[in-house]
């Protein structure tokens, strides 16, 4: 490499000194041009447990809002009282969000400054608000965010599992059959090439059953972590195989807010064991129903998932022959 090329590379890798002097991090606390006090919709992250994690900018955004939309006004009231913030609050949750959107968009278009919070963490992530944000964007209403605590990302960096890529899925279905079906689709995606740390939230009373279903679908030896009560006094992260964690929580009922993380699958050879390859082979001599049943047993996947894929492959094979 020429010396001039080396100097250019070095310069490009250094932070822009002028930009540093004028960035919010070096402006003595002055808010940026898109300050939360501007008209529009502001998504404000709130603490996931420790009130000390609430940022000054988040408090400023709530204090300056004409209206704060809350998942639960009682939960938000405690945070506002802690920071001596007096602001009008209204509930926005999954049961009333759709009905409230037209009126809220009208207020935003009239110049209102509205903040949106969930009970804990970043709004929209397993919480209400997505419909409102979409409507605001479609109405050309300014939307900004005050970032902050997030349980999924906090658990991810504590888990010891590969931090990227990762996939946050939210809560798994509450019923075991639907949960297994959901896991089976993810496992099928892994067979097709997906390799990521998978992240869910889960209720404590369902944790043991969920881990058992994961062990059944993904295999009991997959690396796993269960993060509990993050940022709180009794914060805990258990790291083991999913099978061993399922056995542990079957006899040790957990408490508190829980995040479950499953490490990526080990790379597999795309060969006879691949689901599509197995199905194509079986479809040569079996009906779609029988091929799906045999492949599902071999792959350890729900029959309904495999049957759907078998129908797709059978159609492709028929089209190729015609």
Q: What is the mean pLDDT of each run of 10 residues along the chain (322 residues)?
A: 39 42 43 62 96 95 97 95 95 94 97 96 92 97 96 97 96 93 84 89 97 92 97 96 98 96 77 68 86 77 86 89 81
pTM for the structure as a whole: 0.74
Instruction: List strand residue ranges (DSSP E) for the chain, in order.
Output: 40-44, 67-70, 89-91, 113-117, 143-146, 166-170, 197-202, 223-228, 236-241, 258-262
pLDDT of residue 241: 98
Return the C-alpha torsion angle 98, 140, 169, 121, nearest 10.
Answer: -90
């Amino acid at each position: 490499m020429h010396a001039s090329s080396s100097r250019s590379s070095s310069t490009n890798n250094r932070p822009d000194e002028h930009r540093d002097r004028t960035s919010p991090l070096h402006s003595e606390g002055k808010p940026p041009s898109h300050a939360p006090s501007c008209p529009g919709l502001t998504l404000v992250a709130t603490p996931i447990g420790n009130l000390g994690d609430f940022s000054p900018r988040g408090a400023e955004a709530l204090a300056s809002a004409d209206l704060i939309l809350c998942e639960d006004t009682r939960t938000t009231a405690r945070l506002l009282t802690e920071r001596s913030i007096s602001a009008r609050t209204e509930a926005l949750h999954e049961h009333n969000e759709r009905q409230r959107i037209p009126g809220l968009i009208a207020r935003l278009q009239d110049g209102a400054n509205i903040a949106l919070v969930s009970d804990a963490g970043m709004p929209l992530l397993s919480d209400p608000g997505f419909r409102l944000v979409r409507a605001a964007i479609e109405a050309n209403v300014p939307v900004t965010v005050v970032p902050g605590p997030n349980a999924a990302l906090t658990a991810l960096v504590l888990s010891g599992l590969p931090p990227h890529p990762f996939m946050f899925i939210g809560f798994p279905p509450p019923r075991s059959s639907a949960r297994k079906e959901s896991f089976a689709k993810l496992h099928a995606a892994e067979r097709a090439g997906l390799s990521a740390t998978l992240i869910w939230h889960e209720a404590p009373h369902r944790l043991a059953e969920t881990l058992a279903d994961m062990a059944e679908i993904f295999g009991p030896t997959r690396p796993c972590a269960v993060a509990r009560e993050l940022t709180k006094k009794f914060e805990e992260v258990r790291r083991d195989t999913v099978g061993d964690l399922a056995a542990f929580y079957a006899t040790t009922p957990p408490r508190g807010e829980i995040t479950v993380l499953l490490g990526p699958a080990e790379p597999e050879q795309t060969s006879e064991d691949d689901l599509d390859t197995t199905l194509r082979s079986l479809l040569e001599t079996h009906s779609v129903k029988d091929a799906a049943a045999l492949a599902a047993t071999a792959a350890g996947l729900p029959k309904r998932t495999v049957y759907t894929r078998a129908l797709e492959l059978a159609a492709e094979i028929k089209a190729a022959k015609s």
